[in-house]
Amino acid sequence: MSDSSQTKIKRRSNLHQLLSIGVISIVVTYVFLQIRMEKIEQLVSDKTVVVNFSRYQRLSENLVSENEIVPVVVKSWRSGKFDWHDLLISQSPTSPMEKEYLKSKQRLVTRFLTKNYLKNAKLNYGLNFGTLTHYSACEIFPNTCIIHDKYDCEENELCRWNRSLDLCMENFRGLSSLSSSHNNRSCSSPVTIHGSSISNHSGKCKYLVTTPAYFLKMIDQSQTMFYHWWPTFVNIFTLWKKNKCRKSHIIIPKIYDSQFFHYFGLLSDFCWRRSEFDVPEGTCFCNLEIWTISQIRVDPKAAIEHMIEYLGLADVRPPADKVRVGLISRRRKRFILNEYELVAAVQRMGYECILLPLETMTLYEQMRELRSLDVLVGIHGSGLENLVFLHPHSVVIQLLPYSVHLSLTWPQTAAMVNVRYIEWQLKNS
């Protein structure tokens, strides 16, 4: 055994002793939670310690970055003086436009409150997409072909290379019809897509797609909650890996939220398309498969291995000589108000501890950080589903607020990927 491995084992043993003496207290919306770990793997205490707010305030002031002004409203909220809902507009929307406006206000409020002021936690997340850099533009531009170089442009039958612009452009949207290299293709039983319906095509096709295309039907919740998105993606991957064709079209009807669709860049070099807007009229598909995606949770190991390999993260591991803890820092509801104090307490023990604002991180950044952890800690919520990206024998700790008794599928998911699951439940309001 190397010296660094022995040092790490010794540090883990010391961590048990330190946490057996002192409690790390977490305040979650007026609720006090505590957590202790034994050798990173065991919860060892059920006593409740009340946080001294004046001590917390002094500590927080010492932790903020130099030249960083912490707004008064943020200090007051972090001290548990009021609930974040109190800052929202208290009215019910009467129209879709008003509903969208209220949602945008909610995002602005939570973004303002949860901005990182902690020293060593102000990382520039949201900038590094890794091998998904080109694919990250799929959601930004109406021209979904624009991500391609000349080679991929010629492979995508809905695109053509514009020589004057040196860019790949859509074959439709006011441009020309099929490029000459695509005109000679044909198939025996083409189908067309009209919104969310598919029908056999009779007559002449304006655009012909002979490469594989997948028409995905997913439940609405898979677009809005990572807890539902993850089993959806694993089942999509299971179907995709039969052919493993990266020159393929992914077409989706009824899109409510595309926040997780960058995952499709792990499977295809072509941007995903909305069936209602991004499939031009007169397009015929020769090899279209309809996939109705299940929520059944299957073994995710193959999907995870593929993601790690594609993103180039196979060599990312926790430090050899120090325990590394990651605390999920939520950006919407169920906040950990004194997360700064928790990070500082763990760091004072000689261990690394980082905040993980998953909602503002790219997929590459999320997986890179998760693969570097020994322990993942989070309040009850979809973010805990990311335990699947931890190394085997790592630990995930779910903090359950008062009156919440939902372990959901995380104990079973953790067992699938050989991660130790620990749960702490607040039993006294």
Long-range contacts of 15-21 (CB under 8 A, 24+ apart): 15/39, 15/40, 15/323, 15/349, 15/351, 16/40, 16/42, 16/44, 18/349, 19/44, 19/45, 19/349, 20/44, 20/45
Between CA 380 and CA 386, with CA 383 as vertex, the angle to 5 degrees is 125
| Residue 46, SS3 per DSSP | coil
- Reading the block at residue 401, the tokens are 């607020």
Beta-strand pair 24-28/395-400: unpaired
3-state secondary structure 184-252: CCCCCCCEEEECCEEEECCCCCCEEECCCEEEEECCHHHHCCHHHHHHHHHHHHHHHCCCCCCCCEEEE
Task: Report the b/e string of 147-182 with b at 16+ CB within 10 A.
Answer: bbeeebbbebbbbbbeeeeebbbbbbeeeeebeeeb
d(CA 224, CA 238): 21
Long-range contacts of 87-91 (CB under 8 A, 24+ apart): 87/113
Neighbours of 201 (CB within 10 A): 17
Q: Model pTM greater than 0.85?
A: no
Q: Going along 8-153, which residue ranges are E strands? A: 24-28, 31-35
Stretches in the chain below the pLDDT threshold 50: 9-67, 120, 174-183
d(CA 10, CA 4): 10
Q: Are 82 and 26 in contact (CB under 8 A)?
A: no
The pLDDT, as a whole number, for residue 332 is: 77
The pLDDT, as a whole number, for residue 77 is: 75
Choose among 122, 108, 30, 70: nearest CA to 332: 108
Half-sphere exposure of 208 (CA within 13 A, CB side): 18
- Reading the block at residue 325, the tokens are 């803890």
d(CA 16, CA 3): 20
Residue ranges and CATH numbers for the domains of the chain are 3-82+317-425 (3.40.50), 130-298 (no CATH)
- What are the helix (H) ranges across 36-190? 53-63, 72-78, 96-113, 150-155
Phi, psi of 193 (to 5 degrees): -115, 130
Largest CA distance in the chain: 78
